[in-house]
Structure 1
């Protein structure tokens, strides 16, 4: 679901968003140290917050710091915890970059938000919460409990204490909350996962993995509880927003050489691609494509951490931690 036209569209969007960097007020360097720079910026306009976007290259993930300029209140959306599966090493370099930016800009983080239980990277929400004093609430869609119930037996999370109240806020459909003087509405966008939500701030909609940039297409819908028909309906719901609204994605995988990762395209740009796709043809295409995809590289570590809001697995009697990987195929050896 890509073409030279959609690639050109996203390249245009990249230039448009990058050109706004100069419009953002940032603090000068202090003590000769370089300022922490976001990878892309979008200025505050009306009911839309200032958007500072940080790209994590290993997993192709966009993380966002959204700011109400009137109050300097901020939320952090879909932050990444670094994990090297070959060595089993976890680090906080990516998350520390977000913290450094928040500190340099003098921001007050009031919430940490998750669009869903990610299956391709680990969340750093718990780490960020602790570094920010321990009281910043972590929010996610209320249907995360369905995902927890599905995967708890897979990973041996038999103790309800491991999952009960793992998150601080469980958003209901169309629930609203404040970011300083601004308002956000939470919308249910199932299909990629059943718990998936988007966050609507003015004319900026943070879509997670419910839609990708026009030259990339759509996210997969073959995870447990995922559904291609639900995904199509969620994408169509996004098409009902104003044509100049921006759909900010959770990942970007540039398909064309020379096209840098970008955060968003307008609803109008997406409509050009999806208007001609009826539900039956999309569902057939999505299911056929998903059938040929392998499991995400970080599937099992991600789920074990992410359904618990970023907490690592419990330690064993010797104080060691392990991720569990269920075996398939030949298991009678």
Structure 2
């Protein structure tokens, strides 16, 4: 190992992102699905934003939350995938310390924001099904804006300590990170200092935020299911539950990989390249699937999209 990687240093100016250790020879091939996912995420989420902005009939709480989700997905995918692709394609492995800290903050902040928006969408479904006559009076534009602001503040403020804690540590082992982008727990392991506070804080944020959102989403759907089962006919139950299918499908791409990401913290017996591959897939997948899910499952968006293409053809 070179002296530059073993000599004591504090706040190094750059770090080296290895990519996926053990699979360097396959980086070009691995980049193909990631590039495809990024292109779909950009096109799909911009299409959602365009359609909702253009169609005044879609200016309602559900679609406002969907636009927030689309913006969040765009930021998450753009924060991680371009640097990953530059590593895979051009062997551009260096990243400045400031860029590392910025990337780390945006990844954690907007991942939490995505979870909060899905919780807000669950609340929207609860009000629409359990209190349909009061939906427009409960979820006014002002209330939606306040919910959006609360989600942003709840996501942004708790992660502010991360960059400050990370910057003040001495790094005397190496500046090589066995990953494709800046991951807080991977960098924490490089610090030559007592990192227990940061490690415990990170675990607390992960379990409290994701756990709390998951709990309230579960409560919302228990109340929704209770209201659905009280409907008089099977067709009415299926039709009502059909309005929730898109949201249920949107939850899975976020929360299932979130729990799989725990393997990165605790899966010491799992091969490193597998853990990193899972972590790399964790962020691109939800931004890809969300616009597809809502584009296919939501009739209003699907109809507007078809009208857009048929209008262009004529």
Ranked by relative contact order (alpha carbons within 8 Å, sequence separation 6 or more), the top structure is: 2
Normalising to structure 1: TM-score of the pair?
0.27
Q: Which has the higher strand share?
A: 1
Q: Which has the higher helix share?
A: 2
Q: Based on CA coordinates, which of the two structures has the bigger radius of gyration?
A: 2
